[in-house]
Amino acid sequence: MDRMYDNVTKEILDEKVWLLMGEGIIKIFLVLLLSRIIISIGKTVISKFFAVRLRSPIRVSERRETTLIKLLENIVTYVINFIALIMILEIFSFDVKALLAGAGILGLAVGFGAQSLVKDIITGFFVIFEDHFSVGDYIKINNFEGEVIEIGLRTTKIKSGAGELHFIPNGSIIQVTNYSILNSMAVVDVTIPNDGSVELAEKVLIELLSSMEGKYEALIKAPEFLGIETISAEEIVLRITAETKPMHHIEISRILRKEISAALDLSGIKSTYNGSES
């Protein structure tokens, strides 16, 4: 027992042991510092590369660029951190080659039971590079609807209007509806009494709608007066449509109702509204 105690004490007090420990700590610190610097440089290079592409006549959409920037930054981070881990293991004198060989065999065994994971990753690649949707888009995946927060190689995160965050495995994505790519259409139906005032209402609406061109940023062009949608003995329904920027149809529908109501009131025509906002 005394001999063991003496040996341990000798090892602890051995100057070479402390020098090796100090050298190892310094090497680990340098590896971690260098990896952080390389990751930072890599992210800067990626950002500048896409900043240059902004001025290029041939470039992908801003939506897709945002997604690709985030994906490439994640890949750089994972790769550099993995290399740093290997270097730290080598500092501790681990047989890295044996560990990697063992990991390869283990990975092969696990791979047979990880088909869903492989499917998620493959689908994630297709989603990103075929530009099905991008970060910031408002989409519907299967039964989930909301804004895309993050697209990974394995999962996609979307935030619903109620603030719920859904994590959807990419392999389970069967059907996607993207509301943010094409322009939206606002549809407003105006109901007026069938008392002979329809011609006056049409004149008021046409003048109002033509004056709205360029008035609101979300409007692509002046709203269109389509005419009479339905007619009965008591009332007439007039339809107005407006092409808007993606996902701005609800906003423009509300603006149209407000302005139409004010214009018809000034003309002495009572109106009510129904119809959709899409």
When pLDDT is averaged across residues 31-55 and rounded to a whole number, the result is 81
171 and 119 Cβ atoms separated by less than 8 Å: yes
pLDDT of 57 reads: 47
Q: pLDDT tens-digit profile of 54-97? A: 554 444 556 667 767 777 787 788 888 888 888 887 777 776 66
pLDDT of 3 reads: 55
Which H, E and C letters describe 67-136, residue by residue? HHHHHHHHHHHHHHHHHHHHHHHHHCCCCHHHHHHHHHHHHHHHHCCCHHHHHHHHHHHHHHHCCCCCCC
Q: For CA atoms 113, 117, 119, 122, give the dihedral sign.
A: negative
pLDDT band (50, 70, 90) for residue 276 = very low
CA distance linking residue 254 with residue 80, whole number of Å:
51
Name the CA dihedral angle for 64, 148, 76, 24, rounded to a multiple of 10 degrees.
170
pLDDT of 239 reads: 92
Amino acid letter, 103: A
pLDDT of 53 reads: 57
Residue 215 phi/psi, 5-degree rounding, is -80, -35
Mean pLDDT lowest for which of 113-122, 144-153, 165-174?
A: 113-122
pLDDT tops 80 at residue 226:
yes
pLDDT of 174 reads: 84
Mean pLDDT lowest for which of 7-21, 148-162, 179-193?
A: 7-21
pLDDT of 27 reads: 82
- Cβ atoms within 10 Å, residue 238: 23
CA distance linking residue 48 with residue 157, whole number of Å:
27
Give the position of tokens 């994505």. 173
CA distance linking residue 72 with residue 276, whole number of Å:
41
Residue 182 phi/psi, 5-degree rounding, is -95, 160
When pLDDT is averaged across residues 213-225 and rounded to a whole number, the result is 89
Which H, E and C letters describe 214-234, residue by residue? CCCCCECCCCEEEEEEEECCC
- Cβ atoms within 10 Å, residue 34: 14
pLDDT tops 80 at residue 188:
yes
3-state SS assignment for residue 210:
helix
Note the residue count of the chain. Answer: 278
- The percent of residues in the chain predicted with pLDDT above 70, rounded, is 77
pLDDT tops 60 at residue 35:
yes
pLDDT of 14 reads: 56
Instruction: Give the Å distances, CA to CA, from 258 to 239, 255, 263.
Output: 15, 5, 9
When pLDDT is averaged across residues 236-257 and rounded to a whole number, the result is 90
Residue 60 phi/psi, 5-degree rounding, is -80, 175
Q: What is the mean pLDDT of the chain?
A: 79
Q: pTM of the predicted model, to two decimals?
A: 0.55
269 and 200 Cβ atoms separated by less than 8 Å: yes
Structural domains in the chain, sorted by start: 2-111 (1.10.287.1260), 115-178 (2.30.30.60), 184-274 (3.30.70.100)
Of 146, 141, 170, the closest CA to residue 160 belongs to 146
